[in-house]
Amino acid sequence: MAAKRPDHWTSKAYTTSAPFVPRLTSTVLSYLSPKPTDHILDLGCGDGVLTSQLASSVPSGRVLGLDASPSMIETARSSYLAHHPNLEFRIQDCTRLVEALASHPELDGQWDKVFSNAALHWIMRAPATRESVLAAAYAALKRGGTFVFEMGGAGNVAEVHTALIAALVAQGVPVLEAREASPWFFPSEDWMRTELEKVGFTVEKCEVEYRPTRMTDEKGGGLAGWVRLMGAEFLEKVEEERSEEAVGFVCELLESVVTREEDGSVWIGYVRLRAVAKKL
């Protein structure tokens, strides 16, 4: 049996440090363009903010959100199920989506749309899982169905990524190990287009947008909160009592890179990769 993964996610930390993730989605949602009868599968649905919006836009359809985090799924269920009879959430490690579809034939080949926002760069971190995740998205769709997603693309949050590696190295972690601690895979559009085509998709759109994103001003949020939540797997590489030192190091190192002169606001360099791919 696969080892149980630690759950780094909580809805509280997510809404304090990264509430913009489910909000900055107008482009990908316009590509999804839900029809009232659509059946939509949401991979890495998080705490369900966006998934519940999808459910509202398909009143005669159905939405299923899958996420590996028990904490996020618990929040999603308690926040949204009562208001949306066509919505369901399940705990599911999407790196094992192929197996999940095989053991739940009611999910296999049943979806008009497979959707994902800000999750595939986590789900596809391990090279061995990448092709199978895309193949599972393909298998889950009906013929004529569409896979629409947004994720981190090549160069996403490069300054924080680099600073996190530097913080580990500063605490004595060898550089190769520090790199390997990264929980993310940020592919280029060329890589993604090729891999989507390899599993059978016809790619209608595959594009990249540089979208600097402002950190929150919330207590417990800001850049430090973002680093604690999103960089949790890096921080596990240092002794627990020195974890805050590493967070402080990252913020200190980045201070002049991420702070805007005019108002002191803090921005990091998000790069979004979006695609629309058809199963013909």
CA 278 – CA 280 distance, rounded (Å): 6
- What's the closest the beta carbon of residue 249 comes to ligand SAM, in angstroms? 23
User: In this chain, which stretch among 26-34, 111-119, 174-182, 196-204 interacts with ligand SAM, using CB under 6 A?
Assistant: 111-119
Site for ligand SAM in 6-35 (CB under 6 A): 9, 21-22
Q: How many CB atoms are located within 10 Å of the residue 222 CB? A: 16
Of the candidates 136, 158, 167, 161, the one whose C-alpha atom is nearest the C-alpha of residue 149 is 136
Q: How far is CA 168 from the centre of its chain?
A: 23
**Residue 207 burial by CB count (10 A; 0-12/13-18/19+): exposed, middle or buried?**
middle
Q: Name the one residue in this structure whose structure tokens are 């993310």.
A: 184
Q: Which of 80, 122, 147, 149 binds ligand SAM (CB under 6 A)?
A: 122
Q: Which of 67, 114, 137, 160 binds ligand SAM (CB under 6 A)?
A: 67
Residue 52 lies near ligand SAM (rule: CB under 6 A): no
Residue 119 lies near ligand SAM (rule: CB under 6 A): yes
Considering the complex, state which of residue 119 and residue 253 has its C-beta at the smaller distance from ligand SAM: 119
- What's the closest the beta carbon of residue 116 comes to ligand SAM, in angstroms? 7
Q: Which of 72, 168, 173, 276 binds ligand SAM (CB under 6 A)?
A: 72
Interface with ligand SAM (CB under 6 A), residue total 20
Phi first, then psi: give them for residue 261, nearest 5 degrees.
-60, -40
Considering the complex, state which of residue 55 and residue 253 has its C-beta at the smaller distance from ligand SAM: 55
- Locate 130 and state its tokens: 């990448």
Considering the complex, state which of residue 67 and residue 112 has its C-beta at the smaller distance from ligand SAM: 67
Residue 136 lies near ligand SAM (rule: CB under 6 A): no
Query: Dihedral of CA 190/38/120/24: which sign?
Result: positive
Q: Which of 74, 88, 93, 159 binds ligand SAM (CB under 6 A)?
A: 93
CA 231 – CA 277 distance, rounded (Å): 30
**Are 279 and 181 within 8 A, CB to CB?**
no
Of the candidates 94, 90, 73, 78, the one whose C-alpha atom is nearest the C-alpha of residue 10 is 73
- What's the closest the beta carbon of residue 143 comes to ligand SAM, in angstroms? 25
- What's the closest the beta carbon of residue 170 comes to ligand SAM, in angstroms? 26
Residue 117 lies near ligand SAM (rule: CB under 6 A): yes
- What's the closest the beta carbon of residue 233 comes to ligand SAM, in angstroms? 10
Residue 74 lies near ligand SAM (rule: CB under 6 A): no
Q: Which of 123, 206, 253, 254 binds ligand SAM (CB under 6 A)?
A: 123
User: In this chain, which stretch among 30-38, 64-72, 209-217, 231-239 interacts with ligand SAM, using CB under 6 A?
Assistant: 64-72
H or E element at residue 31 = helix 26-32
**Are 20 and 214 within 8 A, CB to CB?**
yes
CA 224 – CA 230 distance, rounded (Å): 10
Eight-state DSSP code of residue 216:
P
Residues that bind ligand SAM (CB under 6 A): 9, 21-22, 44-46, 49-50, 67-69, 72, 93-95, 117-119, 122-123
